[in-house]
Structure formats: C-alpha cells, structure tokens
Homo-oligomer: A and B are copies of this chain.
Amino acid sequence: MASPEIEVLTQALARLPGLGPRSARRAVLHLLKKRETALVPLLRALELVNERLATCSTCGNVDTTDPCAICADPRRDQRSLCVVEEVADLWALERSRLFPGRFHVLGGRLSALEGVRPEDLSVDRLIARLTAGGIDEVVLATNATLEGQTTAHYIAERLEGFPIRLTRLAHGLPVGGELDYLDEGTLAQALRARRPID
C-alpha cells in the first residue's frame, strides 16, 4: 500500500548485502521519519560518491583521483606490489599502515560456485604492470579461504617466469587466538609452518 516511490527505494535497499526485504522496509521508514537527519544526508553522501569517486585505472582502488592517491604517491615503494581480492582488503591493509608499496585489486576471487572465472579478474592488467617492469616483489594477499587460495595459486602460475620475488601472507594463529577455539585448518597450517624460537 506504500507509494511506488517507496517500493522502488525499498527494493534498492533490499539488494544491499546485509539487508533483506523486511529490514529494507524498516530502513525506509526510518529514512521517511528522519527526513532531515537520515534521508537527506544519505542522499547527499551517495551523490558525492557518485560524482567524485572513480576506479583507479592502474590498481583498481576507488578514489577521487585516477591514478589514486596511493599509486600517485612518490614516497610509496614502487618496486613492491600487493595483490588483494577487493578494495576492502586494500583498505584493511592500509589501516594497518604496514605495507609500504602499492596495490593491485583483482576485483574478486575465482569461484566455481559464484561463476567467477579468471577473465573476470584483473589478472591481465596485473601481468601488464609486471611486463612494464620496475617491480621486484609481488605479495599475494588473497583471503585465507578456499577461493582465495585457489586464486593465489592461479596467479602464481600466471606469474611464472617473471623476475620477481613472489610471496604470500603467512598463515597461522591470529594474535590473541586460543588453540581451543581455532579450526583444524588454521592449527594444521600453524603447525606445518612452525619456526625455531630465537
């Protein structure tokens, strides 16, 4: 019985990850009730993102400039490249401020279930960057999931023959992790990769 405008908005919100039809309707009602403090700010924020943000044609990051601030920053280590699945992973690594080099966003992970094939990822663009030269190390920082590891294996194969050091993030106990709460896969990895105590 809601007006068509409301139905369309409800459907647009319901397609967001984390929201279903019912929670989308609740969100719409919230937006309608808090017009000035919720609906208008969300509208303006979406407008700004839509107007200003672009995908970096070099690394796949999302930023107001192309190339993005990371690619354009001369203080970043140009010889080191970190390959991640999604922009979210790039942000997570940037929050840690630990990686001094630049990034390459694949745009997903290989997945038979979700129908994601190699040509859906930006692997060719990664190879083009390596072919252009000047890169010494590639860190494969895909997720520690089955799909993430499959993707890392696939990329490692594609990068064979390039004169680069190819590494991946270490697997093992997370900081603060308790053995009793960890899955067997993590335990197995941590045990296999055990190191001498110095």
Listed in ascending order, the chain A residues whose CB lies under 8 Å from chain B are 1-3, 5-6, 8-9, 11-13, 15-19, 23, 25-33, 35, 38-43, 45-50, 52-53, 55, 62-64, 86-88, 90-91, 94-95, 107, 180
Contact = CB atoms under 8 A, between A and B. Distances in A.
A85 to B, nearest CB: 11
Nearest to A39: B50
A2 B52 CA distance: 13
A18 B12 contact: no
A104 B39 CA distance: 23
Contacts of A42: 9, 12-13, 16, 46
A52 B87 contact: no
Contacts of A40: 50
Contacts of A46: 9, 31, 39, 42-43, 46
Most buried by B among A15, A95, A107: A15
B6 A88 contact: no
Contact of A2 (B6, B23, B25, B91): B91
Contacts of A38: 12, 15-16
B1 A94 contact: yes
A29 B64 contact: no
29 contacts: A1-B94, A2-B62, A3-B52, A3-B53, A5-B48, A5-B52, A6-B62, A9-B45, A11-B45, A12-B38, A13-B16, A16-B38, A17-B26, A17-B30, A18-B26, A25-B88, A26-B88, A28-B49, A31-B46, A31-B49, A32-B53, A32-B55, A33-B87, A35-B50, A39-B49, A40-B50, A42-B46, A43-B47, A46-B46
A12 B34 CA distance: 12
